[in-house]
Amino acid sequence: MAVGSSNSFDLIVLGGGTGGYSAAFRAGQLGLKVALVDDRPKLGGTCLHIGCIPTKAMLESAELYERIQHGAADMGVNVQGVTYDYAVAAKRRNQVVDRLAKGLDSLVKKNKVEHIHGRGTLQGGKKVRVETVNEDGKKDGERVLDANDVILASGSRVKSLPGFEPDGKNIITSDEATIGNTLPASIVVVGGGAVGVEFASFYHDAGVEVTLLEYLPRLTPLEDADVSKELERSFKRRGMKVMTSARFDSAAVSVDEQGVCLMVGPEGEEPKELRAEQMLVATGRAPNSENVGLEATRAKLEKGFVTVDARMRTAEPHLYACGDVIGGLLLAHVAAHEGIAAVHAIAGAEAEKVDYLKMPRATYARPQIASIGRSEEECARDGFTVRTGKFPFQASGKALIRGEHEGFVKVIADARTDELLGVHMIGANVTDLISEASAAMLLEATAWEVGSAVHPHPTLSEALGEAALAVDGKSINF
């Protein structure tokens, strides 16, 4: 245990996002004296304040509006003159964020963690210099902290296209989109990954004219190809403009009184003028690895991301790192798992190495996407011979009852051992269904075992059981 002054700790966690606070709370539960250093006004990081939580609140309100407009009448619910008041939806979004932030404050106390409000800089592997700030965000002093171990969880930031910088008004990023309270009449979303398709889905459901551009040949290029195809079909059916293999010169994008103008076209075709009131750039994230003092350590970087081993250790003894700053999947729940793994390594608690193939991924567009393990392409790349089973939601009683029957569940298994290699879902609420596949992969279940587990009827979860049975051609309902 740490001894000495109030500036001495067993563990210092630098960064108060999901990875950082999860690590700090687990360390407190294990009896360590912990300092959690963060310079934001409130804990929670990008995910809580300008990422996961506000985005999902926005998607939820817009989806409800869309369902009332286009699905309520089919269920006998006749609504006249329905409108979408985004200012009210944005207020509710902010209330959700504030409530969760207050919850984090109470958990800091519950787990006996000292929250130090300020900007921390590494001074080697076991010491952190903190420029403390008051409640108004103004500097009010300095503390030099020392510890047996340090975890760097400094997160990431939005990354723009080369040639121009977002102005926060006509050209925005997710940062501005998640705190604003007005909507444009039209928008171009650049980037067809998870963030881009979520915002494209939100804006379209909210009544905005949307054009979605993706540089690669398909949307959500990190997902299974069948999922990407289904998502693009769904977006186009809803009236969204989607262009893959899109090419334009970012340096030539112009802004005038009418909004944003660019010349864009599919690869190999003549570009055409595209205008919209706003452009949202959703082209990835960059690690916050600068200005945190890494140059004073032996930690190594690769393309700006901190290099760690499977237990989150850097090349600097006693310095660990987790979350977006180390790269990989850049998902909040993954950051939390990494932070906890680092603490277990520090405390000598029993912990498995972090296995990213067992990390579920979730995208909250409409329809939602959820996956875990390898795609079919990745199985072929890694030398697996596979069998697959697929079950469409149009054959699901619960999906038909809900009036949302787009999509499918796809299960991939090793042809020799029946080991579960991947599960890929697209459809309503699949982000809630993927947890069963996560547990199954953790327990090294086979496809037959997943299919043999009893799934209550009628539920959406039946789709996973049926897809698993379909691996052997034994699906009952399709």
Same-domain pairing of 465 and 397: yes
Residue 433 scores a pLDDT above 90:
yes
Specify the pLDDT at position 425: 98
CB 298, CB 315: distance < 8 Å? yes
Specify the pLDDT at position 5: 66
Instruction: Give dist(CA 449, CA 455) in Å, integer.
Output: 12
The token pair that represents 248 in the structure block: 């334009």
How large a percentage of the chain has pLDDT more than 90? Answer: 91
In a domain, 83, yes or no: no
In a domain, 422, yes or no: yes
Same-domain pairing of 432 and 319: no
The verdict on whether omega for the bond into residue 360 sits within 30 degrees of 0, i.e. cis, is no
Specify the pLDDT at position 134: 85
Average confidence score pLDDT of the chain = 95
The number of C-alpha atoms within 13 Å of 369 and in the hemisphere containing its C-beta is: 24
In a domain, 424, yes or no: yes
Same-domain pairing of 277 and 297: no
Same-domain pairing of 15 and 141: yes
Among left, alpha and beta (phi > 0; psi -120 to 50; other), residue 190 is: beta
Same-domain pairing of 44 and 168: no
DSSP state of 325: G
CB 159, CB 250: distance < 8 Å? no
Instruction: For residue 436, count other CB atoms closer than 10 A to its CB.
Output: 18
List the one residue out of 284, 127, 261, 256 whose CA is nearest residue 196: 284
pLDDT band for position 390 (50/70/90)? very high
Q: Which of 310, 330, 356 finishes a domain? A: 356
Query: Tens digit of pLDDT for each residue in 244-289?
Result: 999 999 889 999 988 999 999 999 999 999 999 999 999 999 999 9
CB 406, CB 426: distance < 8 Å? yes
Q: Which of 283, 307, 335 finishes a domain? A: 283
Query: Tens digit of pLDDT for each residue in 296-333?
Result: 999 999 999 999 999 999 999 999 999 999 999 999 99
Residue 400 scores a pLDDT above 70:
yes
Same-domain pairing of 22 and 143: yes
Same-domain pairing of 371 and 438: yes
Same-domain pairing of 375 and 240: no
Q: Which residue segment(s) compose the domain that 350 sits in? A: 8-49+92-157+286-356
In a domain, 15, yes or no: yes
Same-domain pairing of 145 and 239: no
Handedness of CA 215, 216, 219, 220 (dihedral sign): negative
Specify the pLDDT at position 2: 46
List the one residue out of 304, 357, 360, 314 whose CA is nearest residue 336: 360
| CATH number of the domain that residue 393 is part of | 3.30.390.30
State the total domains in the chain: 3
pLDDT band for position 1 (50/70/90)? very low
Triad 460, 411, 336: Cα angle to 5° = 80
Task: Please state the pTM of the whole predicted model.
Answer: 0.95
- For residue 94, the SS3 value is helix
pLDDT band for position 369 (50/70/90)? very high
Query: Tens digit of pLDDT for each residue in 232-243?
Result: 999 999 999 999
Residue 124 scores a pLDDT above 80:
yes
- Higher pLDDT: 351 or 397? It is 397
The mean pLDDT value for 379-385 works out to 97
List the one residue out of 403, 331, 337, 338 whose CA is nearest residue 364: 331
The token pair that represents 126 in the structure block: 């076991």
Same-domain pairing of 145 and 24: yes
Roughly what angle, to the nearest 10 degrees, separates helices 18-29 and 86-110? Answer: 30
In a domain, 81, yes or no: no
Q: Which of 295, 325, 356 finishes a domain? A: 356
In a domain, 407, yes or no: yes
| CATH number of the domain that residue 120 is part of | 3.50.50.60
pLDDT band for position 349 (50/70/90)? confident
The catalytic residue positions are 457
Same-domain pairing of 127 and 16: yes
Q: Which amino acid is at 180?
A: G
Instruction: Give dist(CA 92, CA 65) in Å, integer.
Output: 15
In a domain, 58, yes or no: no
Question: Which H or E element spans position 237?
Answer: helix 225-237
In a domain, 75, yes or no: no
Same-domain pairing of 118 and 27: yes
| Cβ burial, residue 451 (10 Å; 0-12/13-18/19+) | buried
The token pair that represents 187 in the structure block: 């928008």
The mean pLDDT value for 192-211 works out to 98
